[in-house]
Amino acid sequence: MLDKIPEQIKRLSVVIGVIIAVVITARFVVLPSSLIDTQYHHDSTVEREVAKNVAYAGTTVCGNCHPDQMTTKSKGYHKNVSCETCHGPARAHTENPSNKPSAPRGREFCAFCHAYDPSRPTGFPQINPVVHNPLKPCTTCHKPHDPVPPESPRECSACHAQIANIKSASPHALVGCPACHTVPEKHKINPLGVRPTKPMAREFCAKCHAKEAGRKDAPSVDFSTHGDRFLCWECHYPHLPERTVQR
């Protein structure tokens, strides 16, 4: 039987056998399993993934150096808002304090969360940025670490809630009621009989709005030419003065 197989076939089968043996040894003995196993690739991917840079440091580390802000924030409505939500990634700042993180001061940033959007959940505080005290940065009235709306004195807003509400979103939000009105004590007992005063002179408004007053936060007019004999509040409603931009 074996004699019938030609010599060259016998030799060839030996060569093929050797090649197969070499390949099998190389695959299962020479090459370590870690090179064949996908586990190696997975591990190296995990390693590369873990080595990536962290940009956001996490809010807990902020308190180590800024305890005052953390205490203020922990009592306010923003207590659950991470520092880096507003200030941006601060990992670089923790390593070298001179890398200052940003502090958004414009009106746009607060509006990301607080502009009115009908899809937002009911009860979330929202405003219309177009009419809500325009042109002033939010931080003029609201401290970002403890945001509360500016309040009129309770003894005024108890009866004059409508005025208080209108004024709270106006450029005069921070001007308290007693700044313009002197309220006699008896006004609370006899509201119609004893009335609070109103500013009866143009000079009163001029204290802030005259050119000479030189206030940057208030629009100024030349009182010698503007509005001549009329009182200011005969044209401008003081609880919601119009925008300074002419349309």
Partner 1 sequence: MIDRRKFLKKAVWFIPAVGVFRRLSKEAQAKPIAGGYDPKNHLYGMGIDIDKCIGCGRCMEACKTENNVPKEPFFYRTWVERYTIKKDGEVDVETIDPRHEKPLARTKETEVLRSFFVPKLCNQCEHPPCVQVCPVGATFSTEDGVVLVDSNRCIGCRYCIQACPYGARYLHPETETADKCTFCYHRIVKGLLPACVEVCPTQARIFGDLKSMASRLVRFKRINRLHVLKAHLNTEPKVEYANLDGEVR
Footprint of partner 1 on this chain (CB under 8 A)? 29-32, 34-35, 38, 40-56, 58-59, 78, 80-82, 84-85, 88-89, 108, 111-113, 115, 117-121, 124
As given in the structure block, the two tokens for residue 167 are 């004024």
Cα–Cα separations (whole angstroms), residue 80 to 64, 84, 113: 17, 12, 14
> How far apart are CB 188 and partner 1 at their closest, in Å?
41
Q: Closer CB to partner 1, residue 88 or residue 150?
A: 88
Specify the residue for token string 């690739």.
Answer: 41
Strand, coil or helix: 108: helix
Specify the residue for token string 């005969």.
Answer: 234
> How far apart are CB 12 and partner 1 at their closest, in Å?
17
Cα–Cα nearest to 83, from 94, 217, 209: 94
> How far apart are CB 11 and partner 1 at their closest, in Å?
14
Q: Closer CB to partner 1, residue 2 or residue 54?
A: 54
Q: Closer CB to partner 1, residue 4 or residue 52?
A: 52
Residue 89, classified by CB atoms within 10 Å of its CB into exposed (0-12), middle (13-18) or buried (19+), is: middle
Q: Closer CB to partner 1, residue 121 or residue 214?
A: 121
> How far apart are CB 84 and partner 1 at their closest, in Å?
6
